[in-house]
Amino acid sequence: MDHSATREEALARIAATQDLDTLEKLRVEYLGKQGSISGLLKTLGAMSPEERQIAGPQIHALREGVTDALAARKAALENAALEAQLASETVDLSLPAPESPRGTIHPVSQVMGELAEIFADMGFAVATGPEIEDDWHNFTALNIPESHPARAMHDTFYFPDKDGEGRDMLLRTHTSPVQIRAMLAQGAPIRIIAPGRVYRSDSDATHTPMFHQVEGLVIDKGITLGHLKWTLETFLKAFFEREDIVLRLRPSYFPFTEPSVEVDVGFALVNGKRVLGGSGDAPGHGWMELLGSGMVNRKVISAGGLDPDEWQGFAFGVGVDRLAMLKYGMDDLRAFFDGDVRWLAHYGFSPLDVPTLSAGVGARA
Ligand code: PHE
């Protein structure tokens, strides 16, 4: 039997297909289980050997021809589809890559980084202490007596349980307990700063129940108020990037320093905004209270396990959030801790904008 008509028709239909679905239908029609060519193949079984010898090669040739034509048409259609896709989806490799979303550094973290850089340049290491403190480190060792108002429930967050040594546990109210921990842990001499979170039950536009401080402590021989003033001046000039920062030291009182000094900085009122720089006594200027400090009280040096006749030192404590507000111009402290990404996008810092003072504090213009 001659299959050339079948073959011609099949090849013509295959060549005429315009899409892969139609082509697949043709494949099933000819070569599927119930397909017409599959049916022809099945007829071979019923033939005599002589008949089969003639018909077999013809049917197989038909099947092969159709199989090849299907494969060729499939490749052609796929190729055409790819070409069409490439033609419609041009990629302009010269376009800038879309910007991927990037987080920002919180101003508090940024300022802590700046402080660590500035003080490292003056030979200070960074020390840390726990935010859950015991009342000995937070108060007693710092010469804060039982009757001191700072210990009152309404100022401090106490835990219901005591620690293993029967001490009351609380969220530290300042970073000063790190002074005690540093002295006990490393002895003298000491030059450290201790940045971290502190807690007080206080809440309004300029107070949040949690805020950040950085403590400074120097213990050595022959340390005087002069060293304290120079250190603070050098630090504030580097931090605010102004040479005209003027400090005013005012007598004050802290149980853990003697004498104690409150440090004010001069500012000018420019368009209703306070801009640090210049003497606070100049016309149109004023003094702003910035930080607490003083010479470390002898009792505190003793509590730290050192001999106050041999070692002296100074300490200071300053609000990190307040420093950030002054330097970068935010006006509501509470926004620091709201977690609003719009605020962060505005005031946050690029991860690549890391603070560096590679030229050194002393080399600053
Ligand atoms: N701990 C004090 C405060 O939180 C600040 C301070 C630190 C004062 C060190 C003197 C010396 O207000």
Residue 294, pLDDT > 90, answer yes
pLDDT band at 360 (very low <50, low <70, confident <90, very high): low
Q: Which range is most confident: 2-11, 21-30, 143-152?
A: 21-30
Whether residue 128 contacts residue 196, with contact meaning beta carbons closer than 8 Å, is answered with: yes
Ligand 1 center to 91 CA (angstroms): 61
At position 187, the amino acid (one-letter code) is G
Residue reference for tokens 């920002």:
104
Q: To test the ligand 1 pocket, which listed residue (176, 192, 213, 290) has its Cβ within 8 A of the most ligand atoms?
A: 176
Residue reference for tokens 């108002």:
149
Burial string for 349-359 (b: 16+ CB within 10 Å, else e) reads: beeeeebeeee
Identify the CA nearest to 62 among candidates 130, 107, 14.
Answer: 14
Average pLDDT over residues 247-268: 97
- Give residue 2's region: left, alpha or beta (phi > 0; psi -120 to 50): beta
pLDDT of residue 1: 63
**By mean pLDDT, which of 189-198, 230-239, 257-266, 346-355 is the weakest?**
346-355
pLDDT band at 122 (very low <50, low <70, confident <90, very high): very high
Spatial distance between the Cα atoms of 303 and 316, rounded to a whole number of angstroms = 18
CA distances from 305 to 180, 222, 310 (A): 9, 18, 12
Ligand 1 center to 293 CA (angstroms): 6
Structure tokens at 323: 């420093």
pLDDT of residue 195: 97
Nearest atom in ligand 1 to 296's CA: 11
Atom 9 of ligand 1, nearest CA residue = 316
Ligand 1 center to 316 CA (angstroms): 6
Ligand 1 pocket, residues with Cβ under 6 angstroms = 174, 176, 215, 254, 257, 292-294, 315-317
Angle, vertex CA 170, rays to CA 169 and CA 172, nearest 5: 130
Which helix or strand (DSSP H or E) is residue 300 part of?
helix 298-303
pLDDT band at 354 (very low <50, low <70, confident <90, very high): low
Residue 363, pLDDT > 50, answer no
Whether residue 264 contacts residue 290, with contact meaning beta carbons closer than 8 Å, is answered with: yes
pTM of the model: 0.72
- Taking only the tens place, the pLDDT of each residue in 267-292 is 999 888 889 999 999 999 999 999 99
Spatial distance between the Cα atoms of 328 and 333, rounded to a whole number of angstroms = 12
- Taking only the tens place, the pLDDT of each residue in 1-20 is 678 888 899 999 999 999 99
Atom 2 of ligand 1, nearest CA residue = 317
Ligand 1 center to 297 CA (angstroms): 12
- Taking only the tens place, the pLDDT of each residue in 95-107 is 998 888 788 899 9
Spatial distance between the Cα atoms of 138 and 178, rounded to a whole number of angstroms = 9
Nearest atom in ligand 1 to 317's CA: 7
Which alpha helices (H) appear in 32-143, and where do they start and end?
Answer: 36-43, 49-88, 107-121, 135-138
Spatial distance between the Cα atoms of 229 and 246, rounded to a whole number of angstroms = 11
Q: To test the ligand 1 pocket, which listed residue (144, 171, 174, 291) has its Cβ within 8 A of the most ligand atoms?
A: 174
Average pLDDT over residues 169-182: 97
Ligand 1 center to 6 CA (angstroms): 101
Atom 5 of ligand 1, nearest CA residue = 317
Nearest atom in ligand 1 to 175's CA: 1
pLDDT of residue 176: 98
Identify the CA nearest to 346 among candidates 157, 106, 160.
Answer: 106
Spatial distance between the Cα atoms of 341 and 62, rounded to a whole number of angstroms = 71
Identify the CA nearest to 115 among candidates 325, 348, 323.
Answer: 323
Angle, vertex CA 229, rays to CA 295 and CA 121, nearest 5: 105
Residue 180, pLDDT > 60, answer yes
Distance of CA 107 to the CA centre of its chain: 11
Spatial distance between the Cα atoms of 234 and 237, rounded to a whole number of angstroms = 5
Which helix or strand (DSSP H or E) is residue 91 part of?
none
Burial string for 19-58 (b: 16+ CB within 10 Å, else e) reads: eeeebeebbeebbeeebebeebeeeeeeeeeeeeeebeee
Give the up-direction half-sphere exposure of residue 312: CA atoms within 13 A in the CB hemisphere: 13
- Taking only the tens place, the pLDDT of each residue in 296-332 is 999 999 999 999 999 999 999 999 999 999 999 888 8
